[in-house]
Each structure stands twice: as C-alpha cells, then as structure tokens.
Structure 1
Amino acid sequence: MLVVPDAGRISCWLNAWLAGHESTDHVIDAVSWGDRRVEFISVGTRECLSVALLLGELRRLRVSRVSLALPRPGNPLGLGGPSEFNAAALEAGAAIVLHGPGTGFVPARRGSVTSWVGAPATPPPYLPDMQQADRDLRGALLDTAERLAELDVASWSPEAADAVMNLRVAGQLDSPMALPSPAATRMTISALRCNAIVQLALRDHGGAATSNEMSARSQALRPLERASHAAIVAACSSLDGR
C-alpha cells in the first residue's frame, strides 16, 4: 500500500473542485478520508474552518490553484516565501499554497486532528510541470537502479532491492486521489513507489562497514528522492494533468 502525503491528497482534491471536476460532497469526504480529522485555521481571524467552510473561502477569495510543497533541507520545493512560512513548511515537511490570496497552510498534528494553520504565503516562482517531472523521474530511477546494483543493495537492504525489482507491479494508494489525468495518476504511483524505495534503503545501513559506504548509498538515493518529490508536486498541483 502506497502512502499518499496528506498535503498531496488535499491539494489534488481542492484543485479538482476548483476545476469543476468533483462535487463538494466528494471533496469533503476525501479530504477527511478515513480517520483523518482535519481543520483549517484561517489567516488573521484564526477562525477554525471545516472543509466545507474552506471551500467557500476558496471561492470567495478567487483562488485559482492550490499547489503542493514538499520542502527538504537545501530543496525548497513548492515554496515561494516569506521566510517564516518557508521555515514552518520545512519543519513540517509539507504545505499547501493558495494561488491568488497569498495564503498557505502548514500542518500541525494535535492528537487525532491535523490542524492546517494558515499564514501569508507567496506562490512559488517555479513548479515542475508534468512532462519534465516524468522524464526526470524515469531518468533518476534508471541511474539510481544502476548505482544501487553497483553498491550491492541486496546485501544491505533486501526490501529495497525487491521493491526495485517489482516496480512494474501495479501499486495501490492508501486513500483516494482526484488527479487530473491518467498520466498524472501513473506518475504519482510511480513517484510514491520510488520514494518508498528510498525510505527503505535509507532506513537500514546494516551492511555498511564504513561511513564512506553509508555516504555513497545516501548520495546514490538522493536524486531519486528529489525526482519523486518533484513528480508528486507536479501531479498534485496540476489542474489539467499537463
């Protein structure tokens, strides 16, 4: 089961609603999928908004698009500022940005509820497009597979080696996604699988005898991690799947 980032799920469903592809009821159910209780804290008034009220705010504020941010140290993917918002998003590992009103939301887990806290935010100056992200992901996967074979990944992370071998097996998402096209869906599944491989391989350095070997493994995996994040951001931030 492939784990969909909450910020990615929310971004794609809000975009589907903005594009007129999904009904309000479907979006409310999907954003609060399963036992995921969510609330949104508005900027300024600090009012707590349900998903239904958030949708009304999107319409009132004339939001044109919702983009996903998956920043990591040294890679502010999906962020445009200001620095306070970027720092909060980097600490949380994710954020969503509303294009139009200059607002973004950063998740904060509080017990069984995830509060998405609003703050001033600028849309990013650059978002990866679908075609480029797909090419980059495919290229990074080929390069990483070769490097992992050279580093004998099977000896120190058999699970990651098996995952690489089974990439062509159909993957299943842990929650519904309203992605804008079949191509976006395929790329998202591929990106999530690639990211899972990275996490499996980085989780266990059991076969590493030296710090140099551990560093070599991390360096081999980081390009695939960056490409998988960029592909997820591209798919979940797209209105038309292109």
Structure 2
Amino acid sequence: MSTDLPVSARLAWWGTAWLRGQVVTDLLLDAVIGDEATHAVAGLGHLGLGAPADTSRGTGTGTETLLGGLARLRAEGATSFGAAFPVEGDLVGLGGPAGFNTEAVEAGEAVVVAGADVGLVPVTVGAATTWVAHRAVRRQLPDVGEADRALRQELLAAADALARLEVARWRPEVADHLMNLRHRAPLSAPDGVPARCVELAARGLQAVAVVELALVDDGGAISAAEAQARRDALTPLERAGRRALVAACSPEVWPPA
C-alpha cells in the first residue's frame, strides 16, 4: 500500500459525497477512476437488484458502467459507501458472508454499501477496474477516536522497537520516514469528510507504507531471528494503520459535523 489513497477509499469518500449531493457526478467519476481507463460494476443483477437505471449503459454481459452501477445502488436505498482493508486473520471492515470476505482479502480491499447490503470488490486488469458485487451483511467498525489513539500508540512503540533492532543501520530511509510522520502530503477529500478523518487516513497510509518499507528484504536483517523480531515489532503498526484507514473511510462511524 502506498501513501496514495486506495481506490476503495476514493469510492467511499466521493461515492458517499455523491449520494449526499455534496459533489457532482463528473467529480465523482474523476476521483474514483483517476488515471485508469475505465471502471465498471458487475454482478448487481445476480443479487436480485432492480434493472439498471439506464439500460443503454450496460454491456449485455451483466456488467454496467460505474455510474450506472452506483445509480442502481442509490435506487436500492444506498446511504453511504464504506471501505474495508482486510488481511488474513484480520477482517477489519467486513461482516461477511464468507464468500465476500474471501474475495475482499484476496484483493486487499473492498467497499460495503450501507443501506443496500452489497459489497463491491475491485478487480483490476491493466488500466481497467471492475467492481464485482456480492451480498454483504452489517459490519462492526473501529471507532474513529479509538483508531486514532491506537495508531499513535503503535507508532511510538514501533519507533522504539526499530531503534532497538537497529533498522536504521540497514534501511536509513525507514528512520527518515518515521521522523517525518508529521510532514505528510495532504490528501484530497470531498466536502462532507470530517477533517479529522482526512488526517487519520493520511497517517494510516503512512504507517502501512513505513511497515512495507521496513520489511523489504526482511529489513536487511542478517538472521532469520532478527527478521522475525522486526516483523513481530511491525505487525501491530500495520494492523493499526489499516484500522485507522477503515475508520477514516467508513461514514457509519464518522463524528457528527
């Protein structure tokens, strides 16, 4: 995971703003699709949802444009889009069923559509992404404040652990990233996303990026034991980073405006 906002987070933020009338359609599509060529939604018809809002937007294969799919979800009662960033053993942001969870873990991310009981898993091939629809059930989410506090604690703990393990000796850029946690590139967010959540998402992304960097080639470890020690020290930070990102990108738990 890089420090760029993942596609599921973009759909969560801009899709929710679009549902609430806070951004126009063109801004929604530009933000979600980004530099890719196209996005589509597949499988909504198989879930027993209504016909596409505009059948001319379909392909005849059960796939419709991103806008067509989102419009159908809105017609089905969607109230918000929330992101999930699960890994095996930590299904944060997911509530099931098992088939949806499995696909989301494989992709590393997903979107849960509140009010429509639908989950969307992004599958990217080349410059095209297809959001594959699944049934989804109500999920439990980390509280924004709880996720914020946990991330701050794990950042301090990880910095201490990495110093003891002399990671900077092998990967000085990791130490540089940890020292520059207060100097992050700002994330772009639509109206309606709380400023606290925008800042939390940025710190969550940065924490996960630090972990990935530190674990490249096992952090330059000279022994298997040292490699495992570094992994053990960083696993809680990676988990806290993902949970922070989920809370920041889940309107169900956003603080009131």
Q: RMSD in angstroms over aligned alpha carbons?
A: 1.8
Q: Is the 8 Å Cα contact of residues 188 and 235 (structure 1) preserved in structure 2?
A: yes
Secondary structure of the 2:251 match is coil
Answering whether residue 181 of structure 2 is matched by residue 152 of structure 1, we say no
Answering whether residue 11 of structure 2 is matched by residue 10 of structure 1, we say yes
Q: Is the 8 Å Cα contact of residues 158 and 237 (structure 2) preserved in structure 1?
A: yes
Greater RCO, CA 8 A, separation 6+: 1
Return the offset for 1:24.
2.1
Return the offset for 1:44.
3.1
Q: In the alignment, which of 120, 128, 136 is matched to residue 135 of structure 2?
A: 120
Q: Is the 8 Å Cα contact of residues 98 and 104 (structure 1) preserved in structure 2?
A: yes
Amino acid at match of 2:169: S
Amino acid at match of 2:82: S
Answering whether residue 189 of structure 2 is matched by residue 177 of structure 1, we say yes
The corresponding residue for 1:97 is 112
Tell me, in whole angstroms, the C-alpha distance in 2 between the residues paired with 1:147 and 1:41.
45
Q: Is the 8 Å Cα contact of residues 11 and 81 (structure 2) preserved in structure 1?
A: no
Return the offset for 1:119.
1.3
Answering whether residue 251 of structure 2 is matched by residue 238 of structure 1, we say yes
The corresponding residue for 1:88 is 103
The corresponding residue for 1:53 is 68
Tell me, in whole angstroms, the C-alpha distance in 2 between the residues paired with 1:239 and 1:159.
36
TM-score in terms of structure 2 length: 0.86
Counting matched residue pairs gives 239
Q: Is the 8 Å Cα contact of residues 32 and 38 (structure 1) preserved in structure 2?
A: yes
Amino acid at match of 2:114: H
Q: Is the 8 Å Cα contact of residues 44 and 69 (structure 2) preserved in structure 1?
A: no
Q: Is the 8 Å Cα contact of residues 156 and 205 (structure 1) preserved in structure 2?
A: no
The corresponding residue for 2:241 is 228
Unaligned residue ranges in structure 1 (runs of 5+): none
The corresponding residue for 2:32 is 31
Cα deviation code 1:188-225 (max 9, x no counterpart): 11111111101100113253222111111001111111
The corresponding residue for 2:201 is 188
Tell me, in whole angstroms, the C-alpha distance in 1 between the residues paired with 2:226 and 2:214.
13
Q: Is the 8 Å Cα contact of residues 71 and 78 (structure 1) preserved in structure 2?
A: yes
Unaligned residue ranges in structure 2 (runs of 5+): 47-60
Secondary structure of the 1:205 match is helix
Q: Is the 8 Å Cα contact of residues 43 and 120 (structure 1) preserved in structure 2?
A: no
Amino acid at match of 2:239: R
Q: Is the 8 Å Cα contact of residues 19 and 239 (structure 1) preserved in structure 2?
A: no
